[in-house]
Structure 1
């Protein structure tokens, strides 16, 4: 996975995978050709496209934007004037693309779609991080991601200052309500998991009540998720679990809004996981204008 913007320049397998996806996404959009541009813009026409923010936020996905234009036309000159993780104001110029008007317009929508969506995720994540008020808690994502975009969306969460939860079904055991029902209880589920997984793999149990949280600890869970608990119940659960197992990892989840983050963090949990970071974000408003100078544009 990508840890920081510089990783996109390494040219390793992950970047090549993204390039393959971009070619597929371009093919989906272009089909047999950009009929509007071909019908209205003379061949050989040259333009400068200014990509600018129409609202304030945290940027993520600029390397993707560059890759899109490079795949469309390696001759396009892309001058990036910001970096992933930057906080930008409305009107800020993010990049300037120069070259074939046909190719700029052909790549425009995909480049902006990716940049807008990832920046929206980074901005929302940062809102939660800031709302925690500096308390020692990590804001984490979930598996509630767009199919096919999980690597990119989890990258955007990290750019926004958040952390990644498990990446998929394969890298950690997470025993939820349906597993508990099917296995015959929390203890049975944890013991079954311990007998079948490598000793290096973590086991997390979702607990909706104080009794379930205690049972998960006593069964040998490494992480307990306090799910959809009110603040008083959560505080009681944290006290009890810390007494039983001081070093266990505690996670809070379930409908946690930015307004409630500080309160939940004050209960003493280690992680607050938020599904809405990747399933209910608002894309950052970013636009590309041809041959127009915007605030901050380099001449």
Structure 2
């Protein structure tokens, strides 16, 4: 499926645009699963002001999708209509501030924030060493690991709404719950300010090493995966429910359930996005059939399937429903 070129019209409409715009960019190249179709248009704004100018100037009905490092993302094979925005260098600064605070752009990888905090002697952010992805995703999903979550350290965040207006959001404004925030879906988060406590760099780095060692031993981090696939239902561990449903090592096409940690799906044999989504829906069907619990996707699924292909629950293999 070929999506018509939007780039030329948008650049003509927005002559003061400073960011990079391209048409038909391969999103598989920037997602950890390495699958999926193209972006109709891919835009990387120069900075927050450039982003605000872009959003204020585009048609109100033009679909806009934001992606980060692609770690927690499944792009469907037909691609993503409209504009995909990927924040880059203009959103990649990290600045220690007085009072054991760290300010970071939302394009910064979580691990780099943990490292910058350690170098500055700021404790409390070491858990970000265990979270793949960028700060934008961490804010959007209240990312957490090893007993801590983003809500435990965030002071405020900045965001640009669909009209181009910049907002400063307090912790309360974020509306954090488990792996979720109440920030409007069409607002683009641009910056975060964190509060830590005074700590010794050596001790913080030791904590980060322990987090990294745990991931190395217990998660398939060297595979083409999107991280944890499903949210933990209240009172349950998703991986245990998946294991009990007999899904460890289950395969659909080029995708399989990790044998190391069965809440991870892996592209290990040239999988398509449909293979991965079908595998996930088959796992959900098996878990529900055994335990009556409906697993909810933690991985974000974007875009359209190839023409005539289903998505979502319709993909589950019929024999296990």
Q: Shorter-normalised TM-score: what interval?
A: under 0.3
Give 1 or 2: higher strand fraction.
2
What TM-score comes out, normalization by structure 2 length?
0.23
Give 1 or 2: higher helix fraction.
1
In our comparison, the structure showing a higher alpha carbon Rg is 1
